[in-house]
């Protein structure tokens, strides 16, 4: 599991450096061999080291007793329960995409998201961050989506690998930025 924890730490630092999770926002996890490696709570992704990544059983049993997992642990576990094809979850508060989520505006699907079967990314109704209600909403909506905008909150991206989930989070932010600029230029 050391390599998995190391990958979570490296990806977390990358997400922070890309401006996708400022301050102490955002969380990252990977599922492997019946365990979930997840970032700790109240810690900047900038500061994540492999030693600070928390191991949790897929049933929610916290195995790293000295470190508290992300307050969004339940959200991550709900995704893993619903999607056998997903082994990584990235939750960001990237500025442009989160701006769309705060304004309740749609982010249209641009090329690069794979098959376009909807005109826009799915946005889920607001629920308190870290709540069971949010985890339930995400668990239901993630069945058919790889990206969810969380109204008034941020973005969740999933993938078969952490690299894929991170690339998707980067792409969502760049699309939101492009749409924002296009909106300004139309005025």
DSSP states along 8-40:
HHHHHHHHHHTTSS-TT--EEEEEETTEEEEPB
Highest mean pLDDT among 62-66, 154-158, 181-185: 154-158
| Predicted local confidence at residue 120, as pLDDT | 87
pLDDT tens per residue, range 36-95: 999 999 999 999 999 999 999 999 999 988 899 999 999 999 999 999 999 999 999 999
State the first-to-last Cα distance of the chain, in angstroms, to the nearest integer: 52
Alpha helices in 35-161 (DSSP H): 73-82, 95-103, 132-141
| Predicted local confidence at residue 113, as pLDDT | 57
| Predicted local confidence at residue 166, as pLDDT | 98
Contact 40, 70 (CB under 8 A): yes
Indicate if 140 belongs to the active site. Answer: no
Handedness of CA 6, 8, 9, 15 (dihedral sign): positive
| Residue 118: pLDDT band with limits 50, 70, 90 | confident
Whether 114 has a pLDDT exceeding 60, the answer reads: no
Residue 157 to residue 40: CA distance in whole angstroms: 18
Radius of gyration of the chain (CA): 16
Can you give the pTM of this predicted structure?
0.94
Of 118 and 92, the structure prediction assigns the larger pLDDT to 92
Whether 164 has a pLDDT exceeding 90, the answer reads: yes
Q: Which of 72, 74, 170, 173 is catalytic?
A: 72
| The dihedral formed by the CA atoms of 93, 135, 111 and 96, expressed in degrees to the nearest 10 | -20
Residue 80 to residue 139: CA distance in whole angstroms: 8
What are the chain's domains?
2-186 (3.40.225.10)
| Predicted local confidence at residue 85, as pLDDT | 97
Contact 176, 112 (CB under 8 A): no
């Amino acid at each position: 599991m050391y390599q998995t924890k190391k990958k979570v730490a490296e990806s977390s630092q990358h997400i922070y450096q890309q401006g996708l999770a400022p301050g102490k926002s955002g969380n990252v996890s990977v599922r492997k061999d019946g365990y979930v490696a997840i970032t700790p709570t109240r810690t900047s992704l900038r500061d994540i080291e492999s030693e600070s990544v928390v191991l949790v059983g897929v049933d929610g049993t916290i195995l790293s007793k000295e470190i508290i997992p992300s307050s969004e642990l339940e959200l991550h576990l709900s995704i893993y329960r619903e999607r056998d094809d997903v082994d990584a979850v990235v939750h960001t508060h990237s500025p442009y995409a989160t701006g769309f989520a705060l304004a309740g505006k749609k982010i249209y699907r641009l090329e690069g998201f794979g098959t376009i079967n909807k005109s826009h990314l799915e946005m889920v109704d607001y629920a308190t961050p870290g709540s069971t209600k949010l985890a339930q909403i995400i668990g239901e909506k993630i069945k058919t989506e790889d990206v969810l905008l969380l109204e008034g909150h941020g973005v969740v991206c999933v993938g078969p690998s952490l690299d894929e989930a991170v690339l998707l989070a980067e792409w969502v932010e760049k699309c939101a930025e492009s749409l924002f600029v296009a909106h300004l230029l139309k005025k």
